[in-house]
Chains A and B, each alone.
Chain A
Amino acid sequence: MSAIAIAPSFAFHPKRPLGHFVAIVATLLALAAAFHAAEWDFAALTDPALRAWAAERMAAWLVAFGSPDLSWSFIVHAWDLTLQTLSAAVLGTVLAVMLAWPLAMGASRKVCVGEERPALRWPGWRHFPLRSPAAALCAICRLIQDVLRAVPDFVWAIILVAMIGLGPLTGALALALNITGILAKVYSELWDSVDDARFAQVRSQGGGRIATFLYGIRPLASRNVLSFTLMRAECAIRNAAVIGAVGGGGLGSEIWYQIRFGAWDKVSTLILFTLLLTLTADLASNLIRRQLRGDPNRAAAAPAAVSGEVAARVRPPCRPWFAALFVVGVLGWSIWFMGWGNQAGQDGVPRNHLAPATALLTGEAWSNLRFFERLLSPELDLAAIGVGDAASVAARQANGTAVALFAEHGPLSVWRVEAWQAWQAELRKWFVWRAIESAAVPLAIAVVGTVLGVAGAILLTYPHSATFQRHAQRFSGESPSRWVVALRGLQLAAARATAMVSRGVPEVMWAFLFIAFFGPGLVAGTIAIALHTLGVLTRVFGESVDNLALRRFEPVCGASRSLVFGVVAVPLVWREWMTYSFFQFESNVRAAVVLGLIGVGGLGFQFSFNFEWFRFERAGTYLIVIIALTVLIDRTSRAMKLSSTSR
């Protein structure tokens, strides 16, 4: 009786749905902060000369894009790169799924901690991580997944170089570590979002934590877990630029190189191959999805079967086996290709790229980690704030580089603008403060980019939805003429193509393209993020609309399509949309940190700069800021219980 009876009485019952207003105000505040905190340079958009120049370059690119380099040798080259990307991404994703499951089980409170009897009456007690060993394990697992996710993949690649040497496998493993962090977060959040009441019967019958997980929580969340896994797998395939960073080849690094070089015809060929790969991955993931779960509308639309036919149709479920066989087949090919089929960069001499993994079993590989030991002792520059040994503090104060916060303005002048400016100037003398301030750039890019992307995706979802463009007569009662059907089909195709192109090209590639158009800076980075977000979100938004059973539109039977969309469909999926948007925001912050590496500036740039100069102490400080940012956003999203959609 305990959990079921007590939970509702503790639950917060809001009288009014204030959440939406809070969300709108928070978004507006975040936007204002984003424009205030970072230095936006709109010259590329406002200055006519620069605008003309950008237009000229875009036109040149469009012309070149229309005439891709289709010489046979380059196509063979691009095909090789595609296969390299595919095998590394598949290996990386499969490894990541295997690692993410146990990690997510640890990081999910409902799985790892389970039922708790409050030891104290104080409600904040549940947030104290050392209350029990299981809670401590949960906190540790969450931290591990945050670190895995926050550390940029090129850093994992360099760390793995020290452990297992150079080669494509190193890139695939770096990718795996990064995706592990992403998947573990999503899985644990989805499992935590399952309502207690739905699996209470497993507990009440004496199931322990493992049994509750296996028979209660996991099946209830499996639908969402599957669709997120497939979505991330697709992203991995596109973003696998890191494979090339340490000797693996792949499409990503080649596009990167060709864009920098302005070889637009080659870029266009490579983008076509990337799109081909994305489209194939799209179709494959749809295939797997269809094998594993039914389509609500198709079942409803099927004519009522006679009982004899029903009996004939009942047979052992083969479809999950087909899906499993398909995945095993692709995985088998990837392992073969990585091990024996890949002949990149060895003058055509085949050799086993899987062999370096055995180095992980030697002590040497692990002792080489000592090379990065200094990352763990970040430079905190304590002398600047008057902590530490007296001599260095005195020296800092003598040359005026120590923080004297209230030297000019006392704490009482909080209402004066110049006081705040003076305080900021003083704080900037402290290295750690500068590190924290540099987080403004990725945050600003992510906030503005996500808002633009979400707005665009909402607009694009209507033409993108098969329900509203192709199956509308099944709920609107209209009988459109052939011309109207054709027009809607065209609209659907155009919207799908737009979404596919904008999500098929990774953020980094878009950023390179826009840097080439507008020059380096926040504007180029933001547009890149917004465009990619638009593509990704339109797909998941559209999917959630198309997943609605048509019978849910019955109450407004006869209303026009747009009315049904706006008044019924959107409110039904709105919460889900906002969940996806917040997840995308989280991933956009990390993407914006990575964009820093290619000249957009801010945190990512500072981190990679210090890392590449082997100033590990300073890099360590920036790394802490990156991790703190990830942890902050993660805990916020958990606190808001965003993923508790009722599906």
Chain B
Amino acid sequence: MSLLKSAARRGFLMSFAVLAATASFILATPHAQAQPRPAKLIITAIPDDGDADRMRENFGALARHLGDAVGIPVEYMHVENYAASVTALATGRAHIAWLGAVTTAQARMMMGEQLVVLGCRDIDKGFVSYFIANPATGLTQVDSLAELAGSAEGKGWSFTFGSKSSTSGHMMPRKFFQDETGAGPESVFRTVAYSGSHDVVMQMVADGTHQVGALNYASWDKASDELKARAPIIYTTPPFTNYALTARADLGPDLLAALKAALLGIDDGTEEGKRILGYLKAGQFIDADIAEWMGYVELLESGIDIGG
């Protein structure tokens, strides 16, 4: 029986060869080099605020401001997942990203020198997290997390962090908890959950779905007084560095400088500036360098216990 038994088989082999050749041609095309000035910039952000519309509105304003300043349309793309925003930035599917400290460190670990920090808020260099508790627990103020752990012992309380990849909603509260008590929250509370975002943590603690939770202070301050009364602060963590507006280095130094100038130039004189700063609870944006987040990179690389 001959190998080329029939015309049909020959045709099949031919078409397969053509297909393979095309595929290899396409795959072998050299990477699209970084354009000096891309036609459009995409900005994304970690979804630390559960309200997608609110984020679209306010980050849309930031996108418009940056776009007007550098003369390139900038579009905000909303994602519902922390890892998706880092992936988009690291693979060049987004050009600018509003990241937390942990996500900045993750992006840095994957992108190396390709990651630059455009700037951060004035409040980001001394950020704190709050531990909050449902009033039904009877907790008021605690002086240390060891005291919290002591009073939670054997009560069967449930604890909630925000998103797993959040700095102020998970990693730093967990780190302080472990440093002060010598054990993870898993060994003290009945369940430890991850609610997804800061405002959801507050809502869930207020509703009593979870008894104790941790979230960043800005999200707590933003909430209504009625909600604050149902989820009072019991502990404030020591300060740490947090969010940054990051970008890809392949945008080119000129464009990066223009973006940086536009960011630092935001003030509450304009309608848009007022809205952005008001939403982000900031006085202004300030200059920052990736070096200030390198501590987090080391912390992550040291294999710190993050409960997974």
Asked whether any CB of chain A lies closer than 8 Å to the CB of B156, the reply is yes
Bound state CA distance, A520 and B92, in angstroms?
Answer: 37
Among B44-73, those with CB < 8 Å from A are 44, 50-52, 56, 60
- CB neighbours (8 Å) of A609 from chain B are 164, 306-308
Min CB gap A614→B, angstroms: 5
Min CB gap A69→B, angstroms: 15
B191 with A519: CB separation less than 8 A: yes
Min CB gap B159→A, angstroms: 11
Select B84's contact among A157, A253, A261, A367, beta carbons within 8 Å: A157
Bound state CA distance, A244 and B77, in angstroms?
Answer: 11
- Nearest chain B residue, comparing its CB with the CB of A347: B60
With A362-B26, A364-B31: A244-B209 Cβ-Cβ less than 8 Å: no
B164 with A165: CB separation less than 8 A: no
Bound state CA distance, A162 and B42, in angstroms?
Answer: 14
A244 with B80: CB separation less than 8 A: yes
Asked whether any CB of chain B lies closer than 8 Å to the CB of A225, the reply is no
What 0/1 pattern do residues 605 to 634 of A give for CB contact below 8 A with B? 010111111110010000000000000000
- Nearest chain B residue, comparing its CB with the CB of A372: B87
- CB neighbours (8 Å) of B88 from chain A are 161-162, 165-166
B77 with A612: CB separation less than 8 A: no
Asked whether any CB of chain A lies closer than 8 Å to the CB of B28, the reply is yes
Bound state CA distance, A347 and B88, in angstroms?
Answer: 21
Select B109's contact among A246, A262, A614, beta carbons within 8 Å: A614
B31 with A367: CB separation less than 8 A: yes
- Nearest chain B residue, comparing its CB with the CB of A60: B207
- CB neighbours (8 Å) of B84 from chain A are 157-158, 161, 166, 245-246
Asked whether any CB of chain B lies closer than 8 Å to the CB of A341, the reply is no
Asked whether any CB of chain A lies closer than 8 Å to the CB of B216, the reply is no
Total number of residue pairs linking A and B with CB closer than 8 Å:
140
Bound state CA distance, A158 and B190, in angstroms?
Answer: 32
- Nearest chain A residue, comparing its CB with the CB of B110: A614
The number of chain A residues with a CB under 8 A from chain B is 51
- CB neighbours (8 Å) of B78 from chain A are 247, 345
Select A260's contact among B44, B50, B158, beta carbons within 8 Å: B50
Asked whether any CB of chain A lies closer than 8 Å to the CB of B193, the reply is yes
What 0/1 pattern do residues 203 to 245 of B give for CB contact below 8 A with A? 1100111100000000000000000000000000000000000
- CB neighbours (8 Å) of B76 from chain A are 345
With A247-B79, A612-B165: A166-B199 Cβ-Cβ less than 8 Å: no
- CB neighbours (8 Å) of A615 from chain B are 308
Bound state CA distance, A157 and B200, in angstroms?
Answer: 23
Asked whether any CB of chain B lies closer than 8 Å to the CB of A498, the reply is no
Bound state CA distance, A611 and B82, in angstroms?
Answer: 11
Of the four ranges (under 10, 10 to 19, 20 to 34, 35 or more), the interface on chain B belongs to 35 or more
- CB neighbours (8 Å) of A257 from chain B are 50-52
- Nearest chain B residue, comparing its CB with the CB of A159: B87
A247 with B77: CB separation less than 8 A: yes
Asked whether any CB of chain B lies closer than 8 Å to the CB of A442, the reply is no
- Nearest chain A residue, comparing its CB with the CB of B94: A166
Bound state CA distance, A346 and B210, in angstroms?
Answer: 36
- CB neighbours (8 Å) of B194 from chain A are 599
B50 with A261: CB separation less than 8 A: yes
Among A337-360, those with CB < 8 Å from B are 345-347
Among A227-272, those with CB < 8 Å from B are 244-247, 253-254, 257, 260-262
Asked whether any CB of chain A lies closer than 8 Å to the CB of B106, the reply is yes
B56 with A345: CB separation less than 8 A: yes
A165 with B79: CB separation less than 8 A: no
A262 with B203: CB separation less than 8 A: yes
A166 with B32: CB separation less than 8 A: no
Asked whether any CB of chain A lies closer than 8 Å to the CB of B86, the reply is yes
- CB neighbours (8 Å) of B86 from chain A are 614
Min CB gap B208→A, angstroms: 7
Asked whether any CB of chain B lies closer than 8 Å to the CB of A215, the reply is no
Bound state CA distance, A345 and B80, in angstroms?
Answer: 13
What 0/1 pattern do residues 83 to 106 of B give for CB contact below 8 A with A? 110111011111000000000001
- CB neighbours (8 Å) of B91 from chain A are 161-162, 368, 371
Asked whether any CB of chain B lies closer than 8 Å to the CB of A361, the reply is yes
A261 with B199: CB separation less than 8 A: yes
A246 with B80: CB separation less than 8 A: yes
- Nearest chain A residue, comparing its CB with the CB of B61: A347
Select A162's contact among B27, B32, B93, B200, beta carbons within 8 Å: B93
- CB neighbours (8 Å) of B190 from chain A are 41
Min CB gap A267→B, angstroms: 13
Min CB gap A231→B, angstroms: 27
A161 with B203: CB separation less than 8 A: no
- CB neighbours (8 Å) of A601 from chain B are 191
- CB neighbours (8 Å) of A164 from chain B are 93
A612 with B82: CB separation less than 8 A: yes
Bound state CA distance, A30 and B180, in angstroms?
Answer: 43
With A260-B50, A260-B203, A599-B193: A612-B81 Cβ-Cβ less than 8 Å: yes
Select A245's contact among B32, B80, B90, beta carbons within 8 Å: B80
With A165-B42, A613-B308, A614-B86: A362-B29 Cβ-Cβ less than 8 Å: yes
- For A247, A345, A601, A615, which residue has the most chain B Cβ atoms within 10 angstroms? A247
A363 with B28: CB separation less than 8 A: yes
Bound state CA distance, A515 and B210, in angstroms?
Answer: 10
A516 with B165: CB separation less than 8 A: no
- Nearest chain A residue, comparing its CB with the CB of B82: A612
- CB neighbours (8 Å) of A181 from chain B are none
B164 with A612: CB separation less than 8 A: yes
Bound state CA distance, A345 and B83, in angstroms?
Answer: 20
Bound state CA distance, A615 and B164, in angstroms?
Answer: 13
Asked whether any CB of chain A lies closer than 8 Å to the CB of B168, the reply is no
- CB neighbours (8 Å) of A515 from chain B are 209
Bound state CA distance, A330 and B93, in angstroms?
Answer: 31
A363 with B29: CB separation less than 8 A: yes
- CB neighbours (8 Å) of B306 from chain A are 609, 613
B308 with A606: CB separation less than 8 A: yes
- Nearest chain B residue, comparing its CB with the CB of A53: B208
Bound state CA distance, A614 and B27, in angstroms?
Answer: 26
Asked whether any CB of chain A lies closer than 8 Å to the CB of B124, the reply is no
Asked whether any CB of chain A lies closer than 8 Å to the CB of B196, the reply is yes
Min CB gap B152→A, angstroms: 15
- For A53, A166, A601, which residue has the most chain B Cβ atoms within 10 angstroms? A166
- CB neighbours (8 Å) of B308 from chain A are 606, 609-610, 613, 615, 618
- Nearest chain A residue, comparing its CB with the CB of B31: A364
- CB neighbours (8 Å) of B167 from chain A are none
- Nearest chain A residue, comparing its CB with the CB of B197: A260
Asked whether any CB of chain A lies closer than 8 Å to the CB of B246, the reply is no
Bound state CA distance, A162 and B30, in angstroms?
Answer: 17
Select A519's contact among B32, B199, B200, B209, beta carbons within 8 Å: B209
A260 with B195: CB separation less than 8 A: yes
A246 with B81: CB separation less than 8 A: yes
Select A613's contact among B26, B93, B164, beta carbons within 8 Å: B164
- Nearest chain A residue, comparing its CB with the CB of B303: A615
Bound state CA distance, A378 and B236, in angstroms?
Answer: 39
Given contacts A247-B80, A612-B82, 19 further A-B contacts (CB under 8 A): A154-B81, A157-B81, A165-B88, A246-B84, A247-B78, A254-B52, A260-B203, A261-B50, A261-B203, A345-B76, A362-B26, A362-B29, A363-B30, A368-B92, A368-B93, A519-B158, A612-B164, A612-B165, A613-B306
Interface residues of B (CB under 8 A from A): 26-32, 42, 44, 50-52, 56, 60, 75-84, 86-88, 90-94, 106, 109-110, 156, 158, 164-165, 190-191, 193-196, 199-200, 203-204, 207-210, 306-308
- Pairs across A and B, CB under 8 Å, 25 listed: A41-B190, A53-B208, A158-B81, A158-B87, A161-B88, A162-B93, A164-B93, A165-B93, A166-B94, A247-B78, A247-B79, A257-B52, A260-B204, A262-B204, A345-B76, A362-B29, A363-B26, A364-B32, A520-B158, A599-B194, A612-B81, A612-B83, A612-B164, A613-B164, A614-B106
**4 shortest A-B CB distances, which residue pairs?**
A609-B308, A162-B91, A165-B93, A166-B77
